[in-house]
């Protein structure tokens, strides 16, 4: 009791209350205020709970000497003057209902942990689903879902709702993972489900891998994803491709999709959906970008991806993908001209992953002619690993009509990487390090730069000379 009283005093509560009194100010009940996001209900100020007294329920009788103390001077300072005392019999003390009781730190109440909502308000939908190419201030991800199939505890064969990013305790989860937790507890292995997501942001790389793994383990679930915007983050291309490799269908939302969401997931009060300016123009642009991401090869890279993955520092972290910009001089099967270019990236398909070099070889092998001479140039973010280097060397050994030039932004240090690079040189490939002029050439020919000029980063040629010296030492 002394400890409780000390805590109350430290929070600014003047005076004390006896074992059977609850002290409140004489002033009118404070206005309702929403508790901050991420705040446990046990930390909710008294002024937030004051409007819920009608929900109080009688508690079991307390032992003699027990006491109840409520205070929240942090949000509701209580002066010494103007205090009214309510006396409650000890045998009829009142406590908060179970759904409002304090929980241990780091744990959220059930309604917050299972954060599905019935519908969105119109302003939230219009702001967070606006399909701008680059949208600022949209730090939450909203997911409108429809599940076709009988879920445990559901009276019908269809269910829908809305999930949003969750903040509870020390963990933060995106809406996709909140949905999977909720869905996993209710699905049946004997039922077939078709799940549709209308989502404000496309899944990040981490969520995409988690969803892909979920689909791998649940073959009875079909997932269709319609995204209002593309989420550009580290390895986002890799994540979206892993989703497609597991059978998920990805698409960009168009006018009719936004209108469908408005009619089914928004408290619209009978108002029709009014599209914002350039809604379908933006969708066309995003759909083209998504198409480039999901196909291998891509036509071009976005500027942020190029700057991140082609940065030529000696040691970099977080670049787990390998990007390969290629040019082929020579007549390929199905090509209208004598020149073709594009971009390959690491591929995840099934249970195997192929580096960009092997993805290119698979594509190139099907289109080359034994009677044609080809000059192939690679601008690659990482030099080939030892395994890829041996595979490329073997490919060149069997195809003498191909000349290969490789310019690498960085050297890939792994077991036997030196031996792999030497085997490439012995097969006739030309290896070099990219310098400023090469990065600028890639920017002009393989990047969606929207007319912007290439701006070199600090020490770009200093780094290149250092890497070129290391490569020279390896090959001599």
3-class secondary structure, 349: strand
For position 171, what pLDDT does the model report?
Answer: 58
SS3 of 31-43: CCCCCCCCCCHHH
Whole-number Å distance between alpha carbons of 228 and 202? 7
User: Catalytic residue positions?
Assistant: 357
Whole-number Å distance between alpha carbons of 16 and 329? 87
3-class secondary structure, 26: coil
Stated pTM of the model: 0.57
For position 353, what pLDDT does the model report?
Answer: 57
Per-residue pLDDT of 133-174, as tens digits, reads 777 888 889 999 999 999 988 888 889 999 998 754 455 789
How large a percentage of the chain has pLDDT more than 70?
Answer: 73
For position 140, what pLDDT does the model report?
Answer: 86
Mean pLDDT of 52-60: 39
CA distances 275 to 129, 191, 198, 259, Å, are 11, 38, 16, 8
Phi and psi at 330, nearest 5°, equal 140, 155
Per-residue pLDDT of 431-461, as tens digits, reads 999 999 999 999 999 998 989 999 999 999 9
Whole-number Å distance between alpha carbons of 288 and 284? 6
If we measure between CA atoms, which residue out of 379, 371, 441 comes closest to residue 405? 379
Per-residue pLDDT of 407-424, as tens digits, reads 999 999 877 889 999 999
Cis amide leading into 196 (omega within 30): no
φ/ψ region of 203 (left if φ > 0, alpha if ψ in -120 to 50, else beta) reads: beta
More confident residue, 46 or 357: 357
Per-residue pLDDT of 276-301, as tens digits, reads 999 999 999 999 889 888 877 888 88
């Amino acid at each position: 009791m002394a400890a409780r009283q000390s805590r109350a005093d430290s929070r600014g509560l003047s005076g004390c209350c006896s074992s059977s009194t609850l002290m409140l100010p004489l002033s009118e009940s404070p206005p309702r205020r929403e508790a901050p996001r991420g705040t446990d209900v046990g930390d909710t100020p008294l002024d937030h709970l004051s409007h819920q007294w009608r929900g109080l329920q009688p508690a079991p009788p307390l032992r003699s000497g027990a006491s109840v103390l409520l205070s929240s001077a942090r949000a509701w300072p209580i002066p010494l003057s103007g205090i009214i005392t309510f006396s409650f019999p000890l045998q009829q003390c009142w406590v908060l209902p179970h759904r409002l009781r304090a929980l241990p730190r780091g744990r959220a109440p059930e309604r917050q942990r299972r954060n599905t909502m019935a519908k969105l308000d119109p302003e939230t939908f219009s702001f967070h689903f606006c399909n701008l190419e680059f949208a600022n201030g949209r730090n939450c991800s909203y997911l409108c879902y429809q599940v076709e199939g009988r879920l445990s505890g559901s009276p019908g064969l269809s269910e829908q709702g809305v999930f949003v990013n969750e903040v509870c305790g020390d963990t933060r989860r995106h809406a996709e993972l909140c949905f999977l937790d909720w869905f996993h507890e209710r699905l049946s292995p004997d039922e077939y489900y078709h799940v549709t997501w209308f989502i404000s942001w496309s899944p990040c790389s981490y969520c995409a891998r988690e969803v892909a793994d979920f689909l791998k383990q649940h073959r009875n679930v079909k997932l269709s994803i319609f995204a209002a915007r593309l989420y550009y983050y580290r390895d986002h291309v890799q994540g979206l491709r892993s989703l497609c490799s597991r059978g998920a269908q990805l698409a960009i939302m168009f006018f009719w999709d936004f209108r469908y969401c408005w009619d089914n997931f928004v408290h619209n009060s009978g108002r029709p959906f009014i599209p914002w300016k350039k809604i379908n123009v933006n969708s066309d642009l995003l759909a083209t970008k998504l198409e480039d991401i999901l196909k291998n090869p891509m036509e071009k890279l976005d500027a942020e991806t190029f700057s991140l993955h082609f940065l030529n520092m000696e040691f970099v972290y977080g670049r787990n993908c390998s990007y390969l910009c290629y040019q082929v001089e020579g007549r390929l099967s199905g090509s209208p001209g004598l020149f073709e270019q594009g971009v390959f990236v690491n591929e995840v398909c099934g249970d195997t992953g192929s580096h960009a070099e092997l993805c290119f070889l698979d594509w190139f092998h099907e289109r080359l002619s034994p009677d044609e001479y080809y000059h192939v140039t690679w601008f690659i973010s990482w030099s080939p690993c030892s395994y890829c280097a041996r595979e490329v060397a073997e490919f060149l050994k069997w195809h003498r009509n191909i000349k290969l030039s490789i310019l690498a932004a960085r050297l890939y240090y792994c077991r036997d990487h030196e031996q792999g690079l030497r085997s490439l040189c012995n097969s006739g490939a030309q290896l070099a390090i990219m310098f400023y002029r090469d990065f600028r050439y890639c920017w002009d020919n393989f990047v969606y730069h929207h007319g912007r000029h290439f701006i070199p980063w600090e020490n770009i040629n200093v780094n290149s000379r250092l890497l070129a010296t290391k490569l020279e030492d390896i090959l001599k």
